[in-house]
Structure 1
Amino acid sequence: MRRALSPFKTLFLFIALLCSMNLSAQKVTNSGRDFWLGFTEVVDRATADFYLNVSSRDTTSVTVSIPGTGFTLTQLIVPDTVFTFSLPAFDAAIEGSDTIIHKAIHVVSDSDVVVYAVNYHLFRHEASLVLPTPALGTRYRAITQKSEFANLGTTDRLRESEFIIVTGVDSVTVDITPANDAKNGRDSGITFQVTVPPESIYALQADSVQDDLSGTLIEGVDPNKGFAVFSGNEWSTVVCTPTLDPLYEQMFPTNTWGKEYIVLSTPDVDKDYVRVMADEDNTFLLRNDSLVDTLMAGEWFSDTLGVMDSATLYSSNKRIGVGFFMVTRSTSCDRTLDTDPSMIILNPNEQMFLDSITFFATDPPGITMTHYIHVITRTIDKDSIWLDDTLQTGFTVFKYDTNYSYLSREVQVGSHTLQTGGCGFNAYALGRASAVSYAYAAGVQLNDLDNTVEFENVSTGSDTICITDSVRFNPGIAGTPISFLWNFSDGDQFNVQRPVKKFDTSGVFFYSLITEYACFSDTLLDTIFITETPEVDLGPDTLLCSGPPLILDSENPGMLRFWNTGDTSQTLTLNEGGTFTVVVSNLVCFDRDTITVEIPQIGADFNYLKTNQDRPDICTGEDV
């Protein structure tokens, strides 16, 4: 089986005027029963607190383990509460670059749960949503923050841009192309390969103060072995100075990136930082519909949002990833001391299909924080959003695209449920206090926005398609489709999800698929190449009488052929009888034929029957 990829493919999303949401259980969200994660290096690793906040809508048993250290803890969780699993720093903290560390963390549960990873110490607090194993991908780009020299106590040293790769039950081989120089001689732009054992972490950090690992490409060699990537910074300022915090967030696979993002500012701070990452060359980036940059693969656009930027639209012609950063507290730089660095990876508008999520708001020990939830939804759904059984009002229609509306709402400490009766939403949780903050995606849905069609040969299951082969097409879907319409350039049409079709000639065939959902229409244009198939005809079985030899011709000049006699020539000269078979191949498709040649015995008796029974004689040229 293969994916049909071509330069002719274009993806269009049309938002319908009216809709009602009904996504299927096939959707991939941050809710699940199996998770693998790890923590990036933090400046105060030996004294830091590492913990997981886990919640569920059902009573369920949850086990957290670190196989490499032997740590394990099981807890029964009751619905709509948050249980905190505390992890010893000895088991969870990591140190080093270009090294394998056996501290991958495993979470398993009997029912679906949501998991958030938190690291905390004194006046710093950072959290990340954790993706379940089915949501993990095989291709990522790191979004981090610059390296810098900084002082902690009496130690002034480099605080690095960094990322980690986390494996589950399988070892994973990855190709890494650093965007800038990394430690241990891993040079910018030079791809190197690492095999990460099962249940382990591979860590990589920037080499010097001018090095930022944002844009680093991380690709798995085996497309069937997913892995997790977490990025951030050991200890960093963001925009303002002087205080620093670690940054930490799970990366989303690049095939889930979109082309349109709405970014909401942190309430009452009036300054935020945004980093927009390109995955492909010649990415044209627009900010509020105005072209601001043309990016090559792995390059990013930096933007600082101010007091007038309550909501900002970033859009492009190709997929992009967007990181949102809360800034360092500074009365001379931003408006309040109640903030500090934190980081979120945002979800694109194309993934706006969440219909219900549970998220949490917690205060660190001894600190009272102000907590918020950001909600972005389609304008037609703004009167269908519920928070903890309360219908939400006060949405603002986005002026740069009135199809969308947004809301920032302060919430209290505890577990919260956000739901919609419409087509879906994106949501982000934030918290801030004096010199401390956190930010994370409150929930995500991660559909494969490459949205390619898989096809296979029905007979062989392979991706080799020849003339007259039966081909089964299987599209990627985002939710619960209402209808399908396939159109092929040879005139065939189908109204089923997985049509089976034969092609009578070779060449390139164009096709389109229009998938209707409750909330939008998805149109995919693509091509399939059908390889020319040899045609072999040795003729009917025959007799070889005395006279010239019989010459069998397999035709199809220029192709490979294999006779059962061992010959490989186009023709076979016969002076004796037998059964002869030839296979002709163009290295992709083949055909075969068999002929039986008999030699009659000399003087053998035989009977005949006249074709014309009305006359007793036999004339020359008459059939018998």
Structure 2
Amino acid sequence: MNRRMLFVILAVAAILMPGATTMRAQSTDTSGTDFWLTFPENHTGGAATLSLFIAGSTSTTGTVSIPAITFAMPFTVTAGQVTTVNIPIGAELGTSDVVESKGIHVTALANITVYGFSTIPFTTDAYLGLPTPILGTDYIVLAYTTIFAGSNGSELAIVASADNTTVNITPSAPEGNHLAGVPFPITLNQGQTYQLLDVTNGNDLTGTLISANHPIAVFGGHQCADVPIAFASCNFLVEELTPTATWGQNFFTVPLATRMNGDTFRFLASTDSTNVSVNGAVVATLNRGKFFEQIITGAAQVTADKPIMLMQYSNGGSFDGASADPFMMVVTPAAQYLANYTVTTPATGFSPNFVNITAQTSGVGTIKLDGTAIAPSLFTPIGSSGFSGAQVPLSVGSHNLVGSVPFGTIVYGFSSADGYGYAGGFSLSPIALVTAVTLAPKVSAGSVGAPACLTATVTDQNNMPVSGVRVDFTVTGANPTTGFMTAATNGTAQFCYTGTAGGTDTVTAAVGTITDTATVTWGSVVTTPGTFTPAPGSSTTAVVQPGSTALFTVVFTPNPGFLGPVTFSCANSSIPNTICTVSPATVNITSTAPITLTVSLRTNCTALLPPTPLGPAPLSLPPMWGVPVSLIWIMALGGWLWNRTRRPIAPSNHPAAARNFGWLVPSLALALLVVTWSGCGSSSGNAAIPGAPVTPTGNYNVVITGTSAMGTQSMVLNVRVI
């Protein structure tokens, strides 16, 4: 491979930063603001030229630093463009089984994507860097087999992201003083690195177990590998590996275009007794750390009953007579697909170029390349999996891919004795932790034209919620559709859809191969939010005097399938001088549970003065008594005053009754007037409505209405004022 591979990295660096639909509070994709990286040793016999290629969806600034060699380089990223930072030659790992301080720290003010590029003439490769927040503590190495004793061996590398990191390594093959299958510890501080290189013929570090007490970055690869073994045209291989918590159980692959006789794949298990199948046929049962290699000649579905890592290799040119070199790519689990990507081919040197796409068959025709739907004729069903795959030619330059459903992408191209390939992007949510998906309610009823909602809960083996994973929803039956949501911090993902036809639907919620189902039966079209009925023991008729309040208790029962807010009101325009209210005034309907409403109609009466500070009157007097009682009081008071001016006040030696009798009449009259003024003619003690005359006697209707976006429903109540 020659330096034209540089164009590959420039192409890869333009990968899209995934959108908010696949983000959590902490990012679970391959963009970020903090990275710890390193460069494993390239082909024996020369010092590699090292570079980082940095891109972002927004303009930002940052720094690349290597504390051990006092290297610090600020950089600026312009949105949509690539920034290159050259790394000193001394940063490449050069020894085996030795702790060094060659960690590369990349920080930025906004999200960026970082790629490492290592090249010696005719042996070049690159890797996608993973942000520090998504690093893990449990890894299994995937590399390739050593075939030249004493040089160009299988290798792994580790970088610590925190001080006092204890790493336990269990090599899959003997290396130096370390026995196969026997763990040994190393201790690293932040930025320190460790490389293990196996140059023994036939050995392979694939399957080496690595665990740590703090997050670490792990790399696997080969100084110069022939793929498959014994087919010439070796090339440097390197990938930053994903934590086992992000491995999957369901994969879809499409052959590399223009190649013959298939591609090489490796399946690596994280758990004992893992059964791996290709197109439904079991091909291997693997224990933790064991792998199986197979050539697959067509589009395929790879499944496992426990999480695995799947790697796809481009074979060397001597395998099928093509002018090509090996490269390896992590195959994205279907549960880690995204719904949009931006990809780029090299500017020159590579033709033809392709993007392989794998997606749900239901989404075929909705996936767009640069705004134009990709022809469904390019897609071929992958068995009976419900997924299809396509090899889509790409012109030179940048391209946007957008779909209505999540889909997987691999971009690649070939040239004379050369080639490149990379995944278009992926999520890194902890799908391997998921052991159950529960969909509720199991049985529900919906009304055509109104939405129905179901909630999937994602949990682990301890029944604890798993957040950040994508949940796929598939509806079959009367109203077929699909959708996807990301589980929230409580492990739940809600899916809503609107039925347009009557009948029964089966809704399936899935995280990879873990699923659960529920049914929704759709009835008639919802035109009203619900119905009104009198509450048990209540009446729709009330008899009141002016100044009193008519109270009704009403029950509102939502119609099946209706969801959303309903506003309640009452129309009392036919009843003069009244105030009508409904409580509660607004309710957000989430089920068919009945809602109890209180309707209050306040009538008015005559009041000569505002209510007194003495409070409500203890008696009930008709409003027409107001004026006569007032006249009686005035006449009595006037007569008493006139009489007192004509007669002397009783002397003090008269009996008390005689002295107080003169005050009795005006006092009683005054009390009667207070009753009249403050009581407003009602035992309920309502004050008069300011500025409003008395409510006339008669029979009246009050209309209670519930209003929603779907329509209205009303009920009539009767009020008799006497």
After TM superposition, the score normalised by the length of structure 1 is 0.65
Aligned partner of 2:429 among 443, 447, 460: 447
Deviations 1:359-386 (A, max 9, x none): 443368xx44543322222222233323
Q: Which residue is 2:345 aligned to?
A: 361
Q: Which residue is 2:465 aligned to?
A: 475
Secondary structure of the 2:105 match is strand
Aligned partner of 1:410 among 362, 370, 393: 393
Secondary structure of the 2:148 match is strand
Structure with larger Rg: 2
Are 2:309 and 1:326 aligned? no
Report the Cα distance in structure 2 between the residues aligned to 1:371 and 1:47, rounded to whole angstroms.
30
Cα RMSD, aligned residues only = 3.0
Contact kept, 8 Å, 2:314 with 2:328, in 1: the verdict is: yes
1:424 deviates by: 1.3
Are 2:89 and 1:86 aligned? no
Aligned partner of 2:259 among 240, 252, 269: 269
Report the Cα distance in structure 2 between the residues aligned to 1:265 and 1:52, rounded to whole angstroms.
30
- The one-letter code sitting in structure 2 at the alignment partner of 1:283 is T
Q: Which residue is 2:322 aligned to?
A: 336
Once the two structures are superposed, the pairs formed by residues 31-110 of structure 1 within 5 Å of their partners are: 31-43=31-43, 46-91=46-91, 93-110=92-109
- The one-letter code sitting in structure 2 at the alignment partner of 1:125 is T
Report the Cα distance in structure 2 between the residues aligned to 1:158 and 1:388, rounded to whole angstroms.
46
Report the Cα distance in structure 1 between the residues aligned to 2:418 and 2:145, rounded to whole angstroms.
20
Secondary structure of the 1:138 match is strand
Deviations 1:316-351 (A, max 9, x none): 211111111111112xx31411x1011111221122
Range that drifts further, 227-236 or 107-116: 107-116
Are 2:159 and 1:174 aligned? no
1:45 deviates by: 7.0
1:413 deviates by: 4.6
1:392 deviates by: 2.6
Flag the structure with more relative contact order, 1 or 2, with Cα contacts below 8 A and sequence separation at least 6.
Answer: 1
Contact kept, 8 Å, 2:244 with 2:432, in 1: the verdict is: no
Distance 1:55 1:287, change over 3 A: same
Once the two structures are superposed, the pairs formed by residues 269-348 of structure 1 within 5 Å of their partners are: 269-270=259-260, 271-306=262-297, 309=298, 311-330=299-318, 333-337=319-323, 339-348=324-333
Contact kept, 8 Å, 1:359 with 1:416, in 2: the verdict is: yes
Are 2:335 and 1:350 aligned? yes
Report the Cα distance in structure 2 between the residues aligned to 1:303 and 1:473, rounded to whole angstroms.
36
Q: Which residue is 1:159 aligned to?
A: 152
Aligned partner of 1:202 among 183, 189, 194: 194
Secondary structure of the 2:68 match is coil
- The one-letter code sitting in structure 1 at the alignment partner of 2:215 is G
Contact kept, 8 Å, 2:28 with 2:468, in 1: the verdict is: no
Once the two structures are superposed, the pairs formed by residues 417-496 of structure 1 within 5 Å of their partners are: 417-420=400-403, 422-451=404-433, 475-478=465-468
Range that drifts further, 26-35 or 116-125: 116-125
1:514 deviates by: 7.4
- The one-letter code sitting in structure 2 at the alignment partner of 1:404 is F
Report the Cα distance in structure 2 between the residues aligned to 1:45 and 1:64, rounded to whole angstroms.
27
Report the Cα distance in structure 2 between the residues aligned to 1:410 and 1:125, rounded to whole angstroms.
25
Contact kept, 8 Å, 1:82 with 1:415, in 2: the verdict is: no
- The one-letter code sitting in structure 2 at the alignment partner of 1:230 is F
Number of equivalences:
443
Distance 1:314 1:482, change over 3 A: closer
- The one-letter code sitting in structure 2 at the alignment partner of 1:285 is V
Once the two structures are superposed, the pairs formed by residues 544-563 of structure 1 within 5 Å of their partners are: none
Distance 1:497 1:402, change over 3 A: closer
Once the two structures are superposed, the pairs formed by residues 496-515 of structure 1 within 5 Å of their partners are: 515=493
Contact kept, 8 Å, 1:178 with 1:216, in 2: the verdict is: yes
Contact kept, 8 Å, 1:345 with 1:441, in 2: the verdict is: yes
Are 2:331 and 1:375 aligned? no
Secondary structure of the 1:68 match is helix
Contact kept, 8 Å, 1:21 with 1:355, in 2: the verdict is: no
Q: Which residue is 1:236 aligned to?
A: 225
Range that drifts further, 203-212 or 139-148: 203-212
1:29 deviates by: 0.5
Report the Cα distance in structure 1 between the residues aligned to 2:63 and 2:258, rounded to whole angstroms.
39
Secondary structure of the 1:297 match is coil
Contact kept, 8 Å, 1:276 with 1:322, in 2: the verdict is: yes
1:516 deviates by: 4.5
Deviations 1:4-43 (A, max 9, x none): xxxxxxxxxxxxxxxx994444450111111111111111
Secondary structure of the 1:185 match is coil
Q: Which residue is 2:4 aligned to?
A: none
Contact kept, 8 Å, 2:36 with 2:159, in 1: the verdict is: yes
Distance 1:412 1:56, change over 3 A: farther
1:474 deviates by: 5.5
Secondary structure of the 1:29 match is coil
Distance 1:313 1:74, change over 3 A: same
Aligned partner of 2:366 among 368, 384, 389: 384
Deviations 1:200-233 (A, max 9, x none): 211112251121111111111x2xx211111000
Deviations 1:521-565 (A, max 9, x none): 45799xxxxxxxxxxxxxxxxxxxxxxxxxxxxxxxxxxxxxxxx
1:67 deviates by: 2.0
Distance 1:33 1:386, change over 3 A: farther
Deviations 1:404-428 (A, max 9, x none): 12222333454443332x2312222
- The one-letter code sitting in structure 2 at the alignment partner of 1:65 is S
- Structure 2 alignment gaps of length 5 or more: 1-18, 437-461, 474-486, 497-507, 517-722
After TM superposition, the score normalised by the length of structure 2 is 0.57
- The one-letter code sitting in structure 2 at the alignment partner of 1:42 is N
Distance 1:391 1:284, change over 3 A: same
Report the Cα distance in structure 2 between the residues aligned to 1:202 and 1:414, rounded to whole angstroms.
38
Contact kept, 8 Å, 1:24 with 1:479, in 2: the verdict is: no
Contact kept, 8 Å, 1:275 with 1:302, in 2: the verdict is: yes
Report the Cα distance in structure 2 between the residues aligned to 1:231 and 1:377, rounded to whole angstroms.
28
Aligned partner of 1:226 among 197, 215, 219: 215
